[in-house]
Amino acid sequence: MPDANILGIESSCDETGAAVVRSGQQILSNVVASQIATHQPYGGVVPELASREHLRAIVPVVRQALADAGQSYQSVDAIAVTQGPGLAGALLVGISFAKALAFGLEKPLIAVNHLEGHIHAVLLGQRQMEQRQRENGDLQFPVLALVVSGGHTHLYLAELQENLWTYRNIGHTRDDAAGEAFDKVAKLLGLGYPGGPIIDRLAPYGDAHAVKFQISQMKHPDRRDHKARDHQQADHAQLGAEDGPNFDFSYSGIKTAVLRYVETQGMKPRIEARRRALAEIDKPALEDVRRLSDRQTLNLVASFQRTMVSDLVMKTLAAAREYEVRTLFVSGGVAANQELRTTFEQEAGMQGLPVFFPARALSTDNAAMIAAAAFPKFLRGDFVGMDFSAEAGMALR
Ligand code: KG4
Ligand code: ZN
């Protein structure tokens, strides 16, 4: 297999990323400029501000990635960029810059689906993966990949043949993504933004059994139930999913349940006080948030996280059994969650199913994952012309 150094560029949401990755596995550099500070006052990503920040950051971030890798514009073998899904204006910044580089340098240009990037982050610099490969030979397919982030909660069956990865969507959220639920609950409780990492770190201080939440169970039609299946196919035709039973998620209900709990328990004045206190601290640390969180809030946070984690794990493992997969990948921003990782490891372990995560820093958006996903496409000569454009709602196949 020839070696190739691929420069990856990512700008689909609120991180400007550039990275150089050798042959899909070895990270030579990985630079991420986060816009958290820009969006923090608004409690969520503001698309216009995101595009502006990407424009500011893209040139220095790419330069830094090349310098860190000891590479130059001329020495890389290809340029890879996120095509979608994501914010159209944000995607266009990365795409226009990647096109200009590829055109000026006469290098091949590779378009990568952001979700495929998240899945390939699992293959990056994996010590456990390398060890497993040494012990058991190559990665075993089919792989079931759970991509769980601020925008997605999707299950894909992945196959690999002659460097061609193919994906089949077998489940997705019907409303909010899991990361979105973490962010909205944290905002509701006046804990700050983004919510996932804060709730992750606060949850161990609370009692996860204190508050009972239920997540609606999406019924999936049985294979033999043709009438229901026809129905589902009609649904799926619209959503771009495929044949077979599906394993859908739904997280808008739990957010409403948390809101109801807050109201019935009269927590609002304490939440407002916390919000005001945190707003006065420049860059609040976890210790500040914890100090300002009473027992009831900590219990609520722990119970919420426990419910989310057990739903994600149980549904994913049910899909793994149904489709008889050999390997499980869990990636995307929420895959950084400690309780999610431990629970997956325990439960998948009991099923005898190997489960792999990216390193925590590679779970959230970055460009190394884009360069990694581009490598098999590089080997296949799967390049794009100058006429390709951003696809905000891009599906993964
Ligand atoms: O993959 P990502 O960086 O961007 C998207 O493509 O959406 O994911 C960001 C999401 C946010 O919702 C954030 O709150 C969540 O991932 N997240 C976490 C953790 N770290 C990030 N959720 C739970 N626990 C974490 N440790
Ligand atoms: Zn992402």
First-to-last alpha carbon distance for the chain, in angstroms, is 25
Amino acid residing at 370: I
- Angle at alpha carbon of residue 175, lines to 174 and 176, rounded to 5°: 130
- Ligand 1 atom at shortest distance from the alpha carbon of 305: 23
Ligand 1 probe mutation, 182, 187, 286, 330, most atoms within 8 A of CB: 182
CB 331 within 8 A of CB 145: yes
Q: Which two tokens stand for residue 58?
A: 């893209």
Q: Is residue 173 a contact partner of residue 146, using CB atoms and an 8 Å limit?
A: no
What residue segments make up the domains of the chain, in order of their start? Answer: 5-121+364-380, 137-357
Going by pLDDT thresholds of 50, 70 and 90, the confidence category of residue 376 is: very high
Give CA torsion, residues 205, 209, 213, 214, to 10 deg.
130
Amino acid in position 10: E
Fold of 137-357: Nucleotidyltransferase; domain 5 (3.30.420)
Q: Which residue has the tokens 């290098």?
A: 107
Between 102 and 235, residue with greater pLDDT: 102
Judge whether residue 339 has pLDDT over 80.
yes
What average pLDDT score do residues 19-24 get?
A: 96
| Cα–Cα distance list, 155 to 246, 328, 332 (Å) | 9, 10, 12
Q: For 62-119, write each residue's pLDDT tens digit.
A: 999 999 999 999 999 999 999 999 999 999 999 999 999 999 999 999 999 999 999 9
Q: Is the pLDDT of residue 27 over 90?
A: yes
Nearest Cα residue to atom 10 of ligand 1: 150
Could you give the C-alpha distances from 16 to 90, 196, 268, 334, in angstroms and in order?
9, 20, 36, 19
131 pLDDT above the threshold of 90: no
pLDDT band of residue 232 (cuts 50, 70, 90) is: very low
pTM over 0.75: yes
Banded pLDDT at 56 (limits 50, 70, 90): very high
Residue 125: the pLDDT is 75
* CA 361 to each of CA 28, 70, 91, 146, 334: distance values in angstroms, whole numbers, following the listed order: 15, 22, 21, 17, 11
Query: In angstroms, rounded to a whole number, what is the distance separating the alpha carbons of residues 22 and 7?
Result: 9
Distance CA 107, CA 223 (A): 47
Q: Is the pLDDT of residue 5 over 80?
A: yes
Q: How large is the average pLDDT for residues 286-305?
A: 97
Q: CB of 393 within 8 A of CB of 56?
A: no
Average pLDDT of the chain is 91
pLDDT attached to residue 218 = 72
Q: What confidence tier does 129 reach under pLDDT thresholds 50, 70, 90? A: low
Q: Please compute Rg for the chain using Cα positions.
A: 21
* pLDDT confidence of residue 109: 98
Structure tokens given for 129: 């993966």
Q: Which atom of ligand 1 is nearest to the CA of 114?
A: 6
Residue 243 has pLDDT above 80, yes or no: no
Cis peptide before 108 (omega within 30 of 0): no
Asked if residue 230 has pLDDT above 60, the reply is no
Percent of the chain, pLDDT > 70?
Answer: 90
Looking at residue 189, its amino acid is L
Span of 180-194, 216-230, 281-295, 299-313 with lowest mean pLDDT? 216-230
- The predicted pLDDT at position 239 comes to 39
Give the pLDDT score at 233: 41
| Distance from Cα 266 to the centre of ligand 1, integer Å | 29
Residue type, 85: P
Phi (first) and psi of residue 28, to 5 degrees: -90, -30
Phi, psi of 76 (to 5 degrees): -75, 155
Expressed in angstroms and rounded, the spacing between residue 39 Cα and the centre of ligand 1 is 15
Q: Do the beta carbons of residue 324 and residue 245 sit within 8 Å?
A: no
Q: Three-state DSSP class for 154?
A: strand
Cis bond leading into 221, ω under 30°?
no
d(CA 6, CA 377): 11
Q: CA 221 to CA 229: how far, in whole Å?
A: 6
CB-based contact 157:143 (threshold 8 Å): yes
**Which residue out of 30, 184, 307, 364 has the highest number of ligand 1 atoms within 8 Å of its CB and is therefore the one to mutate?**
364
Stretch 335-361: mean pLDDT, rounded?
96
User: What architecture (CATH level 2) is domain 5-121+364-380?
Assistant: 2-Layer Sandwich (3.30)
pLDDT given at position 231: 42
Nearest atom within ligand 1 for CA of residue 336: 26
**pLDDT over 80 (residue 126):** no
Domains 5-121+364-380 and 137-357 share a fold: yes
The region of weakest confidence among 43-47, 141-145, 336-340 is 43-47
Residue 6: both structure tokens together:
């691929």
159 DSSP assignment: E
Cβ < 6 Å from ligand 1: which residues?
Answer: 13, 149-151, 179, 182-183, 194-197, 200, 332-334, 336-337, 364-365
Phi and psi dihedrals of 213, rounded to 5? -120, 150
Q: Report residue 131: phi and psi, to 5°.
A: -65, -45
CB 36, CB 69: distance < 8 Å:
no
pLDDT in tens, 29-45: 999 999 888 888 887 88
- Cα separation, 377 vs 81, in Å, equals 12
Closest ligand 1 atom, residue 118 Cα: 1
Q: Is pLDDT at 202 greater than 90 in this prediction?
A: yes
**Residue 137, pLDDT above cutoff 90:** no
Residue nearest to atom 16 of ligand 1 (CA): 333
Residue 286 has pLDDT above 50, yes or no: yes
Residue 211 in tokens: 């508050």
**Looking at ligand 1, which residue's alpha carbon is closest to its atom 8?**
333
pLDDT at site 394? 97
Q: Which ligand is nearest to the CA of 332?
A: 1
- pLDDT at position 18 is 98
